[in-house]
Amino acid sequence: MITLITQLTDYFETLKQSKTTDPSGINFSFVLDFEKHYDRSDTLNYPILRDLKTFMIEQWHNSFFYAIVYLLLIYTGQIYMKTRPRFELRSALTFWNILLALFSIFGAIRVIPEIIYVLYKHGFTYSICNNSNAFGVTGFWTWAFCFAKLPELIDTVFIVLRKQPLIFLHYYHHATVLIYCWYSYHDLTASGRWFCSMNSLVHAIMYTYYALRALRFKIPRYVSMVITLLQLLQMIIGCYINLKIWDIKKNGETCQVSDDNLKYSMIMYATYFLLFAHFFASAYIKPSSLTIRGTHLENDKIKSE
């Protein structure tokens, strides 16, 4: 027992002494070992993380296959469950939401200070056109954020097996954001700094809300309304950033966002905004009979990107 305590003490003491500076200039005074070495070729540490990163960059187009399989499984899963009783899965659902809440919270703690630092030290144009966020500690969480879009598809498994209402926005969002995030990471798109920061914050709040609901805490309904409004705000900011990048590139200035990525991102954010606006109106302004029966935020498992 004494040996274990000594080892833990030495480990945390090492963490205190572990400091690193990201390419943007921000200094992280408390850094985990895997955050520093996950993409370094001069160390044998964390080969799985390096392999996953390399795989995602080189095989990003596999995301199309994953999205198609995902949609097919939704279709066949709903047919399979049609004549069968629903699964409760409350313990599994609670664990899953807590896991994603913690992941999102830690990610937000890492990427949000970086974007604040960049805006203060380098300005808005740098924040949307320089992809320094793809490297260092922030780079790890940017990669993890994009890669996580694949396991996040499990959200829909719970909806299908629990026989909850599944709306178009939910699976359209999951499929398209998986493809876009993997494609964007392949390009190390600079605007990902904003997209990752905004979404990590929204997910931190949203999955915490889902976890508390799964634990049977009574949460005021206005909380889900606020989360949906945050999602809508995210779409508006996303569209604005894309328009600013378009203007910068039109003026001949350098911006590390490809024209194709800009087009896809604009289409994605615009369609998300329309779908979320429709959802908000249906759920909170003019609730339909489906909404009254329980199709609101906590059941649909809707997320933004």
Instruction: In whole angstroms, give the CA distance from residue 47 to residue 40.
Output: 9
Query: Is position 122 annotated as part of the catalytic site?
Result: no
Residue 162 DSSP one-character state: T
Q: Tell me which residue has tokens 């994605």.
A: 268
89: left (phi > 0), else alpha (psi -120 to 50), else beta?
left
Task: HSE, CB side, 13 Å, CA atoms: give it for residue 297.
Answer: 28
- Determine the straight-line distance between the first and last CA of the chain, rounded to whole angstroms: 45
3-class secondary structure, 62:
helix
Beta-carbon contacts of 211 under 8 Å, excluding residues fewer than 6 positions away, are 94, 97, 98, 101
DSSP 107-118: HHHHHHHHHHHH
Instruction: In whole angstroms, give the CA distance from residue 32 to residue 137.
Output: 9
Q: How many CB atoms are located within 10 Å of the residue 115 CB?
A: 19
Instruction: In whole angstroms, give the CA distance from residue 152 to residue 279.
Output: 21
Instruction: In whole angstroms, give the CA distance from residue 263 to residue 258.
Output: 9
Q: Is the CA virtual torsion 216, 231, 145, 125 positive or negative?
A: negative
How open is the CA angle 295-301-304, to the nearest 5 degrees? 115
Residue 77 DSSP one-character state: H
Selecting among 170, 173, 174, 296, the annotated active-site residue is: 173
Instruction: In whole angstroms, give the CA distance from residue 253 to residue 256.
Output: 10
| Residues marked as catalytic | 173
